[in-house]
């Protein structure tokens, strides 16, 4: 298993980690198979969406904030329930297929690390499974 660090600089953010995942893939030497990406955090997540237009992740974060307000009648005393809820909505993992040594992503797709309770130093775990 490989892992790398993502340092986030604000409370919310979607950080494109496609390049980091590609670097790990190159080092792994896997040509065909699958890539498992896992975020071992309860207030962060991973998702795949468009990064050609940087307004897309901005809009996603804005609407997430409307759906899950920062302050509400939450019971969790740490004060970051909104971040826990958003992390569960997005989920902690993604699977991307690997073909001919490349990640199989659509033209507009990028892999994003989603920060919902930053700034923090985060971890992303990656494992490539070779199809043989
Ligand atoms: Zn908490």
Residues 73-94 have pLDDT tens digits of 999 999 999 999 999 999 999 9
pLDDT of residue 132: 73
Expressed in angstroms and rounded, the spacing between residue 124 Cα and the centre of ligand 1 is: 19
Expressed in angstroms and rounded, the spacing between residue 79 Cα and the centre of ligand 1 is: 6
Neighbour-count burial of 84, counting CB atoms closer than 10 A to its CB (0-12 exposed, 13-18 middle, 19+ buried): middle
For the chain, domain boundaries: 2-130
Expressed in angstroms and rounded, the spacing between residue 80 Cα and the centre of ligand 1 is: 5
Q: Does domain 2-130 have CATH number 2.60.120.460?
A: yes
Expressed in angstroms and rounded, the spacing between residue 77 Cα and the centre of ligand 1 is: 7
Could you tell me which of 76, 75, 113 has the C-alpha nearest to residue 91?
Answer: 113
Name the pTM for this structure. 0.96
pLDDT of residue 24: 97
Expressed in angstroms and rounded, the spacing between residue 78 Cα and the centre of ligand 1 is: 5
Per-position pLDDT tens, the chain of length 132: 999 999 999 999 999 999 999 999 999 999 999 999 999 999 999 999 999 999 999 999 999 999 999 999 999 999 999 999 999 999 999 999 999 999 999 999 999 999 999 999 999 999 999 997
Q: Map tokens 């991307």 to a residue.
A: 96
Expressed in angstroms and rounded, the spacing between residue 85 Cα and the centre of ligand 1 is: 10
User: What is the rounded CA–CA span in Å between residue 48 and residue 68?
Assistant: 20
Expressed in angstroms and rounded, the spacing between residue 14 Cα and the centre of ligand 1 is: 19
Pairing of strands 13-16, 109-115: antiparallel
């Amino acid at each position: 298993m490989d892992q790398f660090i993502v340092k986030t600089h604000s409370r919310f953010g979607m950080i494109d980690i496609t390049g980091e995942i590609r670097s790990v893939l190159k080092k792994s030497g896997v040509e065909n198979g699958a890539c498992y990406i896992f975020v071992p955090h309860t207030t962060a997540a991973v998702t795949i969406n468009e990064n050609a237009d940087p307004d897309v992740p901005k809009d996603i974060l804005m609407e997430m904030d409307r759906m899950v307000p920062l302050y509400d009648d939450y019971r969790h005393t740490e004060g970051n329930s909104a971040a826990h809820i958003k992390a569960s909505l997005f989920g902690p993992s993604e699977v991307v297929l690997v073909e001919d040594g490349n990640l199989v992503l659509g033209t507009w797709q990028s892999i994003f690390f989603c920060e919902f309770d930053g700034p923090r130093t985060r971890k992303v775990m990656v494992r490539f499974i070779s199809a043989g």
